[in-house]
């Protein structure tokens, strides 16, 4: 179970990190060395230069890499880790974890769509943006891309479940 929880935690934090990485791409529709490296690692071909900006406009983006490229990377990232995440589980656990992976992907795609279309605050330096984000979210550690999790083992859970299928804790 420890192996599953570690793999699950890595997927959750990995998906959040990918969204942040894609949002940091400047200028709009461009790419960065680290974003290109992520695309290569997940074996997603980057969109051609001439399509990048029109696609961003189509998705009403104000920043970041083109949404279709980001969505392809998010899907690939989850798909590449799916087997490792699910392999050690019982059937009941696999069902919860599989559904939660789908929810995680959905939330990540929706979060990127929203965040990449948010008005850009002009004239803020990067450190000021970081400070503003910290201020805004306070000390809450809840990531912006999340799925419901068990308070005792942090495994994924389903809303209607009464008992955690991973650690047996009452929910």
- Binding site residues, Zn ion, CB under 5 A: 150, 152-153, 155, 164, 166-167, 169
7-18 burial, b at 16+ Cβ within 10 Å, e below that, comes to bbeebbeebbeb
Q: Based on CB atoms, which residue is closest to Zn ion, 87 or 152?
A: 152
Smallest gap, in angstroms, from Cβ of residue 17 to Zn ion?
Answer: 24
Q: Based on CB atoms, which residue is closest to Zn ion, 66 or 155?
A: 155
First to last CA, the chain: 18
Rounded-to-integer distance, Cα 96 and Cα 114, Å? 27
Q: Based on CB atoms, which residue is closest to Zn ion, 79 or 169?
A: 169
Question: Are the CB atoms for 19 and 70 separated by under 8 Å?
Answer: yes
Which residues touch 136 (CB under 8 Å, ≥6 apart)?
none
| Residue 165: both structure tokens together | 């299928």
DSSP assigned state of 170: B
Smallest gap, in angstroms, from Cβ of residue 21 to Zn ion?
Answer: 30
Smallest gap, in angstroms, from Cβ of residue 100 to Zn ion?
Answer: 12
Q: Based on CB atoms, which residue is closest to Zn ion, 130 or 163?
A: 163
Smallest gap, in angstroms, from Cβ of residue 106 to Zn ion?
Answer: 22
Q: Based on CB atoms, which residue is closest to Zn ion, 124 or 169?
A: 169
Smallest gap, in angstroms, from Cβ of residue 152 to Zn ion?
Answer: 5
CB neighbour class for 82 (10 Å; exposed up to 12, middle 13-18, buried from 19): middle
């Amino acid at each position: 179970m420890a192996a599953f929880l570690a793999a699950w935690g890595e997927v959750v934090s990995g998906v959040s990190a990918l969204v942040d990485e894609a949002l940091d791409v400047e200028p709009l529709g461009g790419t960065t060395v680290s974003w290109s490296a992520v695309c290569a690692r997940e074996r997603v071909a980057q969109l051609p230069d001439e399509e990048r900006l029109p696609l961003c406009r189509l998705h009403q983006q104000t920043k970041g890499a083109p949404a279709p490229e980001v969505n392809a990377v998010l899907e690939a990232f989850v798909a590449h880790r799916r087997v490792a995440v699910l392999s050690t589980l019982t059937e009941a656990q696999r069902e919860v974890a599989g559904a939660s992976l789908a929810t995680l992907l959905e939330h990540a795609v929706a979060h990127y769509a929203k965040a990449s279309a948010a008005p850009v605050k002009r004239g803020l330096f990067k450190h000021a943006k970081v400070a503003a984000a910290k201020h805004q979210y306070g000390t809450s550690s809840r990531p912006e891309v999340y799925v419901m999790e068990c308070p005792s083992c942090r495994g994924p859970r389903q809303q209607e479940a009464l008992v955690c299928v991973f650690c047996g804790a009452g929910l």
